[in-house]
Chains A and B, each alone.
Chain A
């Protein structure tokens, strides 16, 4: 995949790109207000970063502690090395109980593992019950944002999808009407489900408990009606103690949507009476990232999506231009760790403005990691040859000041005389929408040297 042409295609529909940008900027602005309301915001970020760093450092201990405590509370803990193992475990749990209908609340991990198509291929009906996720599921698309999965859809789009699949009135765009239709539709799915699957926002090593944050209460309903609750989580979701939770809960919703807290913060400690709780701990490349000092901090991520909302590229290129389950700045770090040759363009889809780093509630140095990735991709020979050649020539020129001065002088003297069609040729990407600077007769160094001579006289 290559981000730039996908981004260019998104921008081509300019009014839509502007709408997408404005919509996400609105969320960023809400986040700013919510963060401003806490005088201790920067302290909270620092605490969160330190707790996560500590947890990463002692991850093996905390994972074992979590397994012990969760098991004590009656949950069954499964370990999955990769996406395939995770999917197999989930399918096995469903098959052994004869379950054919699964309701899911939001889980980016199952997106990462491509669980839905796997289960569907194996005859299981999977229904995403988060409204945004249900919209994109019906549309046959992946989510374009990790917190706001259908943020790329306008209400007119949702109306058309619901008309087609839920039989709502044609042309209906009233959000209340559409949400009510989704409620009725999902209610039937909840009642018919044989199992509920949730993601996990935080898992607490000390108590063996899970915390799931939602705004729609769909996780709670999804695991309260059927007997089987499956919770899928990446191994980086761990925090050591229950008292650490407050730090993250205060940061998460404020960073994500500007809310002080999500409407539901659900705590699960073992299965409910007469129910079953299965927790699947998934590695899927995380151990490799953890082993790398440069990229370890990317596992601090609590999936709030703030880096997407603030990213000037993401806001204008849309989540689908990244072609990965987690898009935006954090996704551009995680994706190449899995497949550098496929996702080589993502670390370059960034102007290195650093806004993501400053907005991140757990202080991941996102833009520095993206820069580090570029160097890493360079070492792996994954930089395009025109870029590499250009940089080699540039480096040669800059190492030889006489060559640099000569090339500069020729370019400055020659360019103004060239016909416009020659300068603004089809290979000149700068000049497609922009003028080149006006070329001055003298360089700075010529002016400076002349001035020095005049002053000496």
Chain B
């Protein structure tokens, strides 16, 4: 049975344990053995994106050490996987095992679609769902077609959600605009970040969504923060939670 090294981003570990557990359930359900290397913490993206590359480097090195030995590495986050696949070159190019690491590290929905070849779920989620296309998954990992590029439409997350009975995906006015989280951007450019988030929420609300889902909990944490402050009835759920059969 293939073994998956489970990569749980630090903020999911500390703040959204259910997202991690749902990921475990989804992988085990498809016959994968899941291991969680306990030494893992953070991929280093916050440091790298702030320009503190010297602080990011040791974390990239740790990541290779911890995950280099697995057959697959899977994380419920497009952003953190993009860090490994698209941005670790700066720190790890030429290291033994690095090219292999990049090739076997997957975001959860792409792993389910491309590797596990999931084509059905025996689940029901009778709700109107707004799918937020997190930017790094979309434009770094190409988990879907972005609205700027003139290519045939596809979306791995959408494909999986359509396998769940009762899911009604609502059409958004701006299919893939950024929510404004952006890591330290969320606090460094607080005013713009919050306006971007409110605009996204408004789009989902206007489309009649009951639940906003995404492949990245960081976007949802930001949107949830705004939703809860404004006492809106909308809920946020990571796509792993919906796929694993959770209720809103």
B207 contacts A by Cβ under 8 Å = no
Interface membership of chain A positions 329-364, coded 1 if the CB is closer than 8 angstroms to chain B and 0 otherwise: 000000000000000000111111111011100000
In the bound complex, residues from chain A placing their C-beta under 8 Å from that of B229 are 433-435
In the bound complex, residues from chain B placing their C-beta under 8 Å from that of A7 are 189, 191-192
In the bound complex, residues from chain A placing their C-beta under 8 Å from that of B139 are 353-355, 357-358, 367
Give residues of chain A (26-46) contacting chain B, Cβ–Cβ below 8 Å.
32, 35-36, 38-39, 41-42
- Inter-chain CA distance A374–B149, complex, in Å, is 26
Which secondary structure dominates chain B's binding surface?
helix
A19 contacts B by Cβ under 8 Å = no
Interface-central residue, A25, A352, A436, A445, by most chain B CB under 10 Å:
A352
How many chain B residues touch the partner (CB < 8 A)? 77
- Inter-chain CA distance A387–B183, complex, in Å, is 12
B155 contacts A by Cβ under 8 Å = no
Q: Which residue of A lies closest to B52 (CB)?
A: A391
Taking a contact as CB atoms under 8 Å apart, the answer to whether A312 and B180 are in contact is: yes
* Number of interchain pairs (Cβ within 8 Å): 225
Taking a contact as CB atoms under 8 Å apart, the answer to whether A4 and B50 are in contact is: no
In the bound complex, residues from chain A placing their C-beta under 8 Å from that of B17 are 440, 442-444, 446-447
B178 contacts A by Cβ under 8 Å = yes
Taking a contact as CB atoms under 8 Å apart, the answer to whether A444 and B187 are in contact is: no
In the assembled complex, how far is the CB of residue A177 from the closest CB belonging to chain B, in whole angstroms? Answer: 33
Interface 9-residue window, one of A120-128, A149-157, A376-384? A376-384
Taking a contact as CB atoms under 8 Å apart, the answer to whether B222 and A434 are in contact is: yes
Give residues of chain A (375-428) contacting chain B, Cβ–Cβ below 8 Å.
375-379, 383, 387-388, 391-392, 394-395, 397-399, 401, 404, 408, 411-412
A8 contacts B by Cβ under 8 Å = yes
B234 contacts A by Cβ under 8 Å = no
Given contacts A352-B49, A401-B38, A437-B221, contact A316 B149 (CB under 8 A): no
B143 contacts A by Cβ under 8 Å = no
Taking a contact as CB atoms under 8 Å apart, the answer to whether A434 and B194 are in contact is: yes
Of B10, B87, B192, B228, which one neighbours A404 at CB under 8 angstroms? B10
Taking a contact as CB atoms under 8 Å apart, the answer to whether B181 and A351 are in contact is: yes
Taking a contact as CB atoms under 8 Å apart, the answer to whether A371 and B41 are in contact is: no
In the bound complex, residues from chain B placing their C-beta under 8 Å from that of A12 are 191
B92 contacts A by Cβ under 8 Å = no
Interface 9-residue window, one of B56-64, B94-102, B104-112, B158-166? B56-64
Given contacts A3-B189, A355-B178, A387-B188, contact A412 B14 (CB under 8 A): yes
A317 contacts B by Cβ under 8 Å = yes
Interface membership of chain B positions 15-54, coded 1 if the CB is closer than 8 angstroms to chain A and 0 otherwise: 1111111001000000000001011111010111111111
B186 contacts A by Cβ under 8 Å = yes
Taking a contact as CB atoms under 8 Å apart, the answer to whether A404 and B41 are in contact is: yes
Taking a contact as CB atoms under 8 Å apart, the answer to whether B55 and A433 are in contact is: no
Residues of B within 8 A of A (CB): 8, 10, 12-21, 24, 36, 38-42, 44, 46-56, 58-59, 62, 87, 90, 135-136, 138-140, 146-151, 174, 176-178, 180-197, 199, 221-222, 224-226, 228-229
A-B contact pairs, 14 of them (CB 8 A): A8-B191, A12-B191, A348-B51, A348-B189, A351-B196, A357-B139, A378-B52, A395-B58, A395-B59, A401-B39, A401-B40, A429-B187, A432-B194, A445-B36
**What 5 pairs across the A-B complex have the smallest Cβ distances?**
A351-B182, A434-B225, A378-B51, A374-B51, A354-B139
Residues of A within 8 A of B (CB): 3-4, 7-8, 11-12, 14, 17, 21, 25, 32, 35-36, 38-39, 41-42, 310, 312-313, 316-317, 347-355, 357-359, 367, 371, 373-379, 383, 387-388, 391-392, 394-395, 397-399, 401, 404, 408, 411-412, 429-430, 432-437, 439-440, 442-449, 451
